Structure 1
Amino acid sequence: MRIFVYGSLRRKQGNSHWMTNAQWLGDFSVDNYQLYSLGHYPGAVPGEGSVQGEVYRIDAATLAELDALRTARGEYKRQLIQTPYGSAWMYVYQRAVNGRTRIESGNWLDRTPT
């Protein structure tokens, strides 16, 4: 299975250690989403724009760990998207983004550190 990551799970980011057993497949930009800074990590929500990230091949154990990290508090919902590497899971932010800073480029690496 594959996963698309766009924030702290990307290479050289704060939670990249969760991807240690994953196989990087390539960079990808998903359309019809907007990226917001939530502080130390981002949230992607449906909207006009695109979000840049990375696609990985992962095993079921890694997906279970990521689900525990991302969906336990109801912040994110896992959604299937299409990539050049095949379908992949993406964590979509489920809470309001009012008052949050939008990252216009759609790239978490372009954020202004808080």
Structure 2
Amino acid sequence: MENGSGENITSRKDNTLYGNTFHRNICWQRSYERAEGEEIIMALYGSLRNGLYNSRRFDLQKKSEFLGTTKVDGYALYSLGPYPGIYPIEGCSVVAEVRRFSGKQLEIAKSIDYMELFGGYHREYVDLEIEKQKIRGFIYVYDEKPETEIIEHGDWIHYLKEKELKEKN
């Protein structure tokens, strides 16, 4: 199928789709250098936060160690519908719960990793500060800049509460 200028629209659409798929696969391969070691520390900002769907699904209360809540600078939070994504933006920050996985808990961390990396995210290592203690962990960053509005306060749980209040009114 051609547009008025003789350009093949079908192939342009296919190339774009292929480009996104290719991009995600490359990001997945780049990110999926297994997180090895005695422990894995993750900064979780969305549905993996305490009380939310994926936190309950993976039973993170029992199968990881909660280290605290922190703000991670340099990332903006976006709503992608039922879950959020973050993307690097200077001057923004996101609220994240920091969890440590060790021993048998590493299997849960690997399951989360698999879910996130195949879901269009990649790992970025970040410096975290919890109660004046500095630790290094990683956060899952969306592969492409979302085309939705930034959630200014950077807190997914706060955003969900605001959304629920709006729906009630």
TM-score (norm 1): 0.89
Q: Which residue of 1 aligns with 2:140?
A: 91
Native 8 Å contact 2:47 2:54 kept in 1: yes
**Please, which of 21, 26, 30 is the counterpart of residue 72 of structure 2?**
30
Cα offset, 1:87, TM superposition: 0.6
Larger gyration radius, structure 1 or structure 2: 2
Native 8 Å contact 1:103 1:110 kept in 2: no
Identity within the alignment, %: 32
Q: Which residue of 1 aligns with 2:21?
A: none
Native 8 Å contact 1:30 1:51 kept in 2: yes
Q: Any stretches of 5+ residues in structure 1 without a counterpart?
A: none
Q: Which residue of 2 aligns with 1:51?
A: 94
Cα offset, 1:34, TM superposition: 0.2
Q: Equivalents in 2 of 1:46, 1:62: separation in Å?
A: 26
Cα offset, 1:110, TM superposition: 2.1
Q: Which residue of 1 aligns with 2:27?
A: none
Q: Equivalents in 1 of 2:113, 2:124: separation in Å?
A: 12
> Are 1:109 and 2:109 matched, yes or no?
no
Structure holding more helix per residue: 2
Native 8 Å contact 1:5 1:90 kept in 2: yes
Cα offset, 1:78, TM superposition: 0.9
Cα offset, 1:15, TM superposition: 0.9
> For 1:26, what is the secondary structure of its paired residue?
strand
State the aligned residue count: 112
TM-score (norm 2): 0.62
Q: Which residue of 2 aligns with 1:77?
A: 122
Structure holding more strand per residue: 1
What stretches of structure 1 move > 4 A for 4+ residues in a row?
none
Q: Which residue of 2 aligns with 1:39?
A: 81
> Are 1:67 and 2:141 matched, yes or no?
no
Q: Which residue of 1 aligns with 2:4?
A: none
RMSD over equivalenced CA pairs, Å: 1.6
Cα offset, 1:79, TM superposition: 1.2
